[in-house]
Structure 1
């Protein structure tokens, strides 16, 4: 009998909900030059990682790499101006989910966010 990969993990889910609240606060109230552009991108990959780990039991390395590649893909779509190509530039939801402008700094923050996840997971497993 095959073991299911789907298993709810309330620790990862709680972390994801906390990060979602922080991201919402950043998105609604932070209009600065540091926390919103850099902190939000750093945290969003951690949020996505925690969401995945909250419902799927999978290898941390594959999950982290998958999340990072997904973030890169979204950023690449911004470079291509996909939102304009699809005619969704007037949609608030599409702009929030896909973003509107490419930035190398975003790529760096996604990478640092996933590196933080990877290092934290490694440290927690050693304890």
Structure 2
């Protein structure tokens, strides 16, 4: 099950740099809140695929469920529960507020993953 994939790792690093740039330099009402959420599930997916030999479908579902879990924890104000409300890094990484729009952004990101995998895989299967 463990398997190193350099391409996915390079994509992970690229997406991470983009996410950091968005977090540091973009303060708008679209790119940061929505596009950033679309990219974050793609980033996590690429990270998972960097080290695990797992099907596209299983990885995509696992990442989507993880994103839903984090969003649910935001609903229950996990940052305050953990006493991290003054920790800027925790607030940025975990997030502070639940939003249905975030759920839709995560779904959009996973759809992009699945469509991209179908386009770029030679065998066109999701195995």
TM score, norm. by length of structure 2: 0.93
Instruction: Give structure 1 regions of 4+ aligned residues with deviation exceeding 3 angstroms.
Output: none
Aligned residue pairs, count: 123
| Structure 1 unpaired stretches of 5+ | none
Shift of 1:61: 0.4
Alignment correspondent of 2:84: 88
CA deviations on 1:9-54 (whole Å, 9 max, x unpaired) are 1100111111011101100000011100111000000000000101
Structure-1 separation of matches of 2:45 and 2:24:
22
Aligned counterpart for 2:25 among listed residues 29, 32, 39:
29
Other structure's SS at 1:51 match:
helix
Shift of 1:7: 1.4
Shift of 1:122: 1.5
Structure-1 separation of matches of 2:111 and 2:93:
23
Aligned counterpart for 2:110 among listed residues 114, 117, 121:
114
- The 5-angstrom pairing of residues 1-127 of structure 1 reads 5-125=1-121, 126=124
Shift of 1:97: 2.0
Shift of 1:93: 2.2
| RMSD, aligned α-carbons | 1.2
Shift of 1:65: 0.2
TM score, norm. by length of structure 1: 0.93
Structure-2 separation of matches of 1:71 and 1:113:
11
| Structure 2 unpaired stretches of 5+ | none
